[in-house]
A and B are shown apart, each in its own frame.
Chain A
Amino acid sequence: MHVKESAGTVSMTQVQNAGSPHLEVRNLKTYFYTEDGVVRAVDGLSYGLAKGETLGLVGESGCGKSVSALSVMRLIASPGKIVEGEILLDGLDLLQCSEPEMREVRGNRISMIFQEPMTSLNPVFTIGNQIMEAIRVHQDVSRKEARDRTIAMIRRVKISAAETRVDEYPHQMSGGMRQRVMIAMALACNPEVLIADEPTTALDVTIQAQIMELLAELQSDFQMSILLITHNLGLVAEVSDQVAVMYASKVVEHTSTAELFASPLHPYTHGLLTSVPTLGMPREQKLNVIPGQVPNPLHFPTGCRFHPRCPVAEQRCKQEEPLLREVKPGHWAACHFIENGKSPMKGADR
C-alpha cells in the first residue's frame, strides 16, 4: 500500500502483520462547530484493526477516543460533523453509505457497548424485550424464535436462570449484569466488529475482570474484532494485541502491545507509562508527572501538539508537525527525534 505523505498520514494497512485490516480508519477528521469555534475532536486519525484481533485505543479524557468510536458508527450528532477521511469495513467505505445502509451496518456488522451500564438500557422494557428488539431490527424472525435466541444469548453471557431473568427489568439487575445484557444485545446479530467504549470503567475491579474475560471468550467464539477504548493501561496490557496511543485528537504511537510496554518510543507514551505506579518500585521514588495540561481542542499548539509538555522539545517541534511514520518494523510513532528505533527519552527502554 502507498503512503499518503501529502495528507500527513500513513496507510495503516502496513501496521498489521497478520492479514489485511478488517476495519480501517484513514485520516478521519471529526469537527464540532460550536459557538466558540471549531473543536477538532478527531483530527487526522488513522488505525487498522485486523480480523479477530483486539486494538486498544488509549488516551487521556477528552483526547477524542469516544468521538472516534461514534464516528465509526456514524452517530455524530449536530454540531459535530465528519469532515474528511475514510472508514473502511472490509473495503466498504462507511462514510459513503446512505443512512438506511448505515442502519444495516449498525448492530449487524459493527456493534457498540457503552461505558454506563446503568443507563444504557431502556428502563421501561424488560431486558428480554430489548435483546429481542436487537435481533428483530436486523433479522426477520418470529417472536418465538427471537425469544429462544434471546434466552440462549443471555445464557451465553453467563447470566444464571436465563428463563426467568429474561423477563426482568433493568432496575432489577446489578451493574455487571446490565453490562452483560448490553453485551448480549450488541452480539445478538453476530457482528464482525465490536466497539467497546470504556466497557468496564463504571464497574468495580472484580466485575471488570469477569466482563473482560467474557469478552475475550466471546471474541474467539464469534470470530470478531474488538476496538477497546479505554484510559486504563493495565486493561490494554492484558487484553489487546495492538495499541494505538492518542494524544490531542491524533494517534501518536501505534504498535503491538508487547512492544509498546517494552519500549515506548514517543515521549508522551513514555510519560504515560512512567506515571503509573508499579508493584515493587522503591517507596521514596516519585511518580513521573507529565507537566502542563491537555491542550484545548479549540486551539491546539502549532507544530507537534505535545511540544509544550515535552521534555525533549526543540524549536523545530513548534513549527513542524511530525508525521506518523514507521520508526521500527511494526512500530509507528509521530516524533521528530526517534532515530534508529531509539526513544529520545533517557532510560526509555525498560
Chain B
Amino acid sequence: MTAGAKQSVFLKSIQIQGFKSFADKVKLDLESGLSVVVGPNGSGKSNIVDAVRWVLGEQSAKSLRGSKMEDVIFAGSSTRKPVGMAEVSLIFDNSKGIIPLAYEEVVITRRVFRDGEGQFLINKTPCRLKDIQELFMDTGSGKEGFSIIGQGRVEEILNLKSDERRLLIEEVAGISKFRLRKKEALKKLEDTQQNIDRLNDIIAEVQDRLEPLAKQAEKAKLSKELQTSLQEAEIKLIVNDLAANENKLKKEQQHTEQLNQELTVLNSKIAEDESTYVSAKYELDRLDEQVTELQGNVHALENSVQEGNHNISLLKEKEHYTQQQMLRLEKEITLAEEQIAASKDKYHQLTVREKDLQNALVQVSADLKDMEKELLELSKLSGSQSLEELKTEIFEQLSCQSKLTNECSELEHRKEVLTKQQAQWIEDLKVKQQEKNALLEQIKQQEDAMQKIEGLLTELEQKASAHKRAIEQKREKIRQAEDNTQSLLRQLDEAQARRRALQNLEDNLEGYYKGVRETVLAFRQGKIDCGQVFGTVAENLKVEAKYELAIETALGTALQNIIVAGIEDAKKCITYLKHNNGGRATFLPLDAIKGSRLSLAAGILNKQGVLGLAVDLIAFDSRFQDLMEFLLGKIVVTENLDTAIDLAKQTNYRFRIVTLQGDQVNPGGSLTGGSTKGQGNSLLSRARIIKDLTAKIDELKIKYEKQKQQVLLDSKELEELEERKRELELQIQSCQEKKSIIKVDKKYVQEKIDRWDEALKMLELDLADAKSQIAELDVKIGEKKKEIELTAAKINDLKQEQKILEDLVKQANIQVEGLKERITAAKVEAARKEQEYEQIKQLRLEENASLQNSISLCHTSKTEYETLKQDMLSIVAKREETLKGLQETEAELKAQKYKLIQLRKLREELSSKNIQLEETIQLKKRQAKEKEQQLHQNELRIARLQAEWEAGCQRLEEEFSLTWEQALSFKSQDKKEALQRTIDELKAKIEELGPVNYAALEEYPQTCERFDF
C-alpha cells in the first residue's frame, strides 16, 4: 500500500464543471500512489478520461463520443436545466520543471460555450490550442502519446494491421517528426522537378519562335514608318482645327461680356421698382390688419347684444315656470294634510281589534295546556313503558340462552375433535412401534453383514501380505540376475575389445620387420606384380600352445621369412623394396628350397622326454612340406633342458635341440636360453589367442542371452504377481468401502430409531394431554347445560307478566284516543285565532307607515315652496340688470361700424395703385430673362469650343505625346481636305499590311538573347 508513497504527484487535481454528466463542479484531488476510479456502468467514469483528453487539446468531437463540440456541455436531465458552459482544468505540479514554464504550479483550462465558442487558458491567461500542444510535446503526455489509454485502445492494438502497428513503434521511437519533414522535402523536390521541366519547355519554345519573329519584326518596322507619317498628318489636321477653334472662342467671349453689362443695368432697375412695391404692400397689409381688427370688434359687440336678448327671454321663461311650480305645491300640501287625518282614525280602530284577539288567544292556549296534562297522565297509566322494559328483558334472556347453547355445542365439538385425534394418535403409536421394530431388525442384519465383511477383509489382507513377500523375493532374484547379466556383458565387452586389438595387430602385421611388413602389405594391396606370395612362415603354420615357445625358438628369425612361389617372385619383391626403400626381407621360393629330415634312431625318439622332430609337431599346408622340413626337419624338441642335454650328449651334439621352455642346445654343444618376453607379443601365439577369444566371446554371448531370457521370464512373473496384488488391494478397498457404507447406514438407522423413540414419547404425552382435556370439557358442558335450563324458566315467568300488562294498556289507550281528539279541535281553534291576529297586526303597521309617509311628503313640499319663492326674486333682479347692459352695447356697436366703412375706402385706393406697379415689374423681369437666355447660350457655345480645344490638346498629348506649345510648330497652311486625303491613303496602306506583331520588334532581340543564354 505504500510502495509509491515517496513518488511525487504530477497531476495534482482535475476540476470538471458542466462537462458531460458532471453538471456540478467536481474536484478530483489526486495524491501519490495508485488512484482508481470506480462506479457502476453509465455513471460517467469514462467522462473523466474524456475530460482530460479534451483539455489536452482533443479536436475531434467523435472521439469524445459526441457529434459536435458543444455536445460536451451538460445537456440537462429530467430534473435539471442544461448549463451554458463546460470547463475542465488540470492542475499540474511543476516543481520539477517537467512543463517548460517558470511556474511552480501550472493550470491548464479549456472552456466551451453553447454558441460553440471555445477558450484555452494557461494559468488563467488565454492562449491558443497550439501553445498547449507545444507545452506537452516533449513531456510524452500529449493526447497522441500513451498517457491516455482509453476503452477499446487495447482492442485497437490487437486489430491493427502490421504496418499500422509499426506507426505505434514510430511514435515511441520519435520518428513521426522525421516522417513529417521527409514529406515536406519530397513535396519540395517535386516542385523543383516541375520547375526544371518547365525550364526545358521554355527553351524548346524559344527556339521554335525565333524564325517567325524575325519576319514579324521586319513587317512591324515598315508598319511603324507608315504610322509615323500618318501621325504627322493627323497632328497637322488637329493643330489647324484647334487654331480655328481658338479664334471663334475669342469672338464669343467678347459678345458675352456685352450682354452681361446690359443685364446688370436691367436688374438694378427691377430692384428699385420692387422696393417701392414692397413698401406699398406693407402699407396695404397694415390697413388690412386694422380692418380685420375693427370687424372682429363689431362682430363681438353684435354677439354680446344677441346674447343679452337671449338671456332676457330665458329669464322670463324661468319666472313663468317657477310660478306654476308654486301653485302645484300649494295644492299638494292641502291634499296631504287631509290624508293624514283619515289615516290617524283608521290606525286607532285597528289597535283596538288587535288587543281583543290577543286576549282570546291566551284563553285557548291555557285550555290546550290543561288537556295535554291530562293526556300525559293517562299515557303514564297505560304503562306501555314497563311493557317495553319487560320485552327487552325477555329478549336479553333469550339471547343469553342461545349464547350458552352455542358455547355448549362448541365444547362438544372440541371434545369430538380431541377424541378423534386421540384415536388417530393411538393408531400412529402402533404404526410407529412396528416401524421401530423393523428398524431394529435392520440393524441386526447390518451388524451380521459387518462381521462377515470384516472376516473377508482379514483374509484378503493376509493374502495381500503373502503376495507382497513373494513380489519382494522375485524382485531380489531379478536384481541378482540383472547384476549377472551386467557382469557378463562387461566380460563380453572386454573380450571383444581385446580380440579387436589383436586382430588389428595381426592385420597390420605388427611385430614383423619393416621389410617383411612392407612386402606382404604391398603384395596384398597388389602393388607388387608377381606370381604368388604366401605370406610369412608364421602365418602359414599352426602350433599347439605348449609347443609354441619351442617352435618359435627353433625358427628364430626364420619366422619372418616370406614364402614365395618362385625365385623370380623373390627377385621382384626385393626390387620393390629397394625402390621404395622398404627395408630388407628374406624370401623362401618354393621351387628352390629342398627340405631334408633328420633320420634318428627309433630309440632316441621314443626316449622319455623327447617329443620328436619339430616339423612333426606343427600343422601346415602339404605344399609347404619341403619348406617346413628345410626349416624344422633337423631340430628335435624335448620336454626340458636336462633331457636335451642328455640327448645331445648321446648324439654327439650333431643337431639342434630345443626345449618347451625355449632353451636350446646348438650343434657343437653351445647352449642358448633364459627368460623370454610375454606371450601376447609372440607372432605365433597371436593368431591362436584371437581364436581362443572368439570362442570365449561366443560362449559369453550364449550365457548372456540365457541370463537375459531368465530376467524377462522373472519380470513377467513379477508383473503377474503385482497384478494379482493390485486385484487383492482393489478387493480390500471395495470391502472397506462396503464396510463404511454399512457403518453409515447403521448410523443412519440408529438415528432414525432415536427419532422414532422421540416421536413415540411425544405421542404418548399428547395422548395424556388429550385425555385430561376431554375430561375437563365434559365438566364444562354439564355446567353450561344447567345454566341453559335456568334461563328457560326465567323466560317463562317474564312472558306471563307481559300478558297481564298488555291488557291494562289496551284500556288506557281507548281513553287516550278520546282526549287526543279534543286536543286536536282546540289546537285548530287556537291556530285560526292566531292567524287573524297576525293579519290585523300587519294592517295596523301598514297604516302607520302610510301616515308617516304623508307627513314627511307634506313637509318636503313646504320647504320646496319656500325655495322657489326665493328663486323668483333673484330671477327678476337679474333680468333688469341684463336689460341695462344691452342698451349700452348697442350704442358702441353703431360707432364701430362707421369707423370700419372709412377704413375700407382707404384700402381700396392703395390696392389699385399697387397692381399697376406690379405689372411694370413683370415686364422688366421678362426682358431680363431674355437677356439671360442669350447669355446662357453664349456660355454653352464657349464651353463647347473649350471642350473641343481641350479634347484636341488631350488627343495630342495622349496619342502623340505633344503639348500645345510643341504642336504649334506643326501648324501649316495645308487645306483640311488635302490633309484628310493623305491620312486616308496612309491608313489604307497600313490596312494592307494586315495584323502586325509590334511586340516582335522588341521580342526578337530579347528572344535571341534568351536563346543565347
A binds B: no
Query: Which residues of chain B have a CB within 8 Å of any CB of chain A?
Result: none
Query: Which residues of chain A have a CB within 8 Å of any CB of chain B?
Result: none
